[in-house]
Copies of this chain bind each other. A is one copy, B any other.
């Protein structure tokens, strides 16, 4: 037994006990006649004391050699601490050490193992195992475990069965790029790693599994953006004999359960919004509804008043920013520059201050009377003290730009509170979206998503108008889950493949096994998948997923700790029937 207790559990009730602890040296304060050591493990920190008057000389000498991150074992007596620390559970006591064993020494760590570290991102990634010793990272990994346990227990209690689907599957050209795995035994052939277990979960429904879930790694070989990982984790779910309403019900229940058990937050029935409404009101299919600033379309009020810039545009749309009438000229200029950045791409921004005294002052006073501006205020819901911001242009682009501005202001003004949770179902997504590049329709969700029955008649005549039985669960402006009711009818599935421009042969080559399966009594079914990394980060009140992943990769897809990927030796390539082709 290396220890009788952990470093987080001793308190005043243990005073007088002889105990054994093991852990890492967090800090040493050496006053010569007395040495204090903070001993750390996963569970907490306990103060050790070595005292010239009470400890043998060789013990004092050995204690004098201790340095940060040494691994030690001590035996000693729990005594009352003179200067208590009310901030930690062990703050009332310390351990008067009688025996000390150095289990392992340590080089000086490349950054401090403290709440706030002095280590940069790259250094922390290279020495990830040291970063994990820090509370902020360690606690996030433990939090993730807690969330996963709650998900599994909830779904299992609801009758869901976790089924492991295979990782070595088949590459499909549709969607994002696959990671592939050359087969040694099947010369010149490759497996692919799953982008999601989509087809397998549908096959499980055909197989009568009724309620399936899996917390599962998925893989996408995409050019990485910040906060994207080539491997990520999904909570993947599918149910049989259900309509959209049943799915929303169950997974609203799951989300509510997590908010309650993990965060202690009780949430009302989740609001719902159609995709069309979300785009019109927030310019965004995953609106953050924790703060207002809903879009107001101002075409009628703002056009044909002599301001040419507006007159020619498809859409004039504004928002009221609460309490921002006091923005200085400099702050307003900064906003205008912000929307003109290439990442946003707006051509300009009109503002109108609704001053506390009831007066109005705008950047377009030449064209609009105070009365006109008051109408804008009414339309946007602006009250005295608020700032009205207006953009104009092509409808879709302008909405996207104003949405970016709205989110920017939400962040700047502290309206996006980490510990406030506002879930939202977005429903009635379009079934298809037109891709300019390939000049054909793509499935917005995926090719197995069913159209709404009332829109089926428009499938060939007006495909862009057809809505899908598809839904997203949005939390605080993030899509945390998305899914759909699937097509279970072979004829409808063929029609979809036609619409998506697949030839019969292509469809058969890629999804033949699923189409085969659908000939043998496919039940109505649907499902949803949650981005588990993202969900956990949001529940943890964080924007970045990286510290919720034990060993993340950097933006070039590299694990810089283990230095992967790496070249293979020739023998391995030979066995795989491969040759690397360097240009």
Contact = CB atoms under 8 A, between A and B. Distances in A.
Interface of A: 1-3, 22, 24-25, 40-43, 69-71, 73, 103-107, 109, 127-133, 138, 141-142, 144-145, 148-149, 152-153, 156, 161-171, 173, 177-193, 199-200, 203-204, 206-211, 217, 219, 221, 223-224, 230-231, 233, 240-243, 246, 488-489, 512-513, 517, 519-524, 549-551, 553, 556-559, 561-569, 572, 575-583
A243 to B, nearest CB: 7
Given A70-B521, A130-B520, A149-B156, A563 B513 contact: yes
Contacts of A567: 188-190
A392 to B, nearest CB: 40
Contacts of A231: 166-168
Contacts of A144: 163-164
Contact of A557 (B71, B148, B186, B565): B186
Contacts of A161: 141-142, 145
Majority-rule SS of A interface residues: loop
B130 A564 contact: no
A186 B583 CA distance: 13
Contacts of A167: 167, 193, 217, 219, 231
A26 to B, nearest CB: 11
A523 B104 CA distance: 7
Contacts of A183: 557, 565
Given A164-B233, A568-B171, A582 B145 contact: no
A316 to B, nearest CB: 43
Given A40-B208, A199-B562, 16 more contacts: A24-B523, A71-B524, A103-B524, A142-B161, A148-B162, A166-B550, A167-B193, A167-B219, A168-B231, A173-B569, A178-B572, A181-B565, A184-B221, A186-B556, A190-B567, A513-B563
A557 to B, nearest CB: 5
B204 A553 contact: no
B561 A209 contact: no
Q: From A171, A189, A199, A207, name the one whose CB has the most chain B CB atoms within 10 angstroms.
A: A207
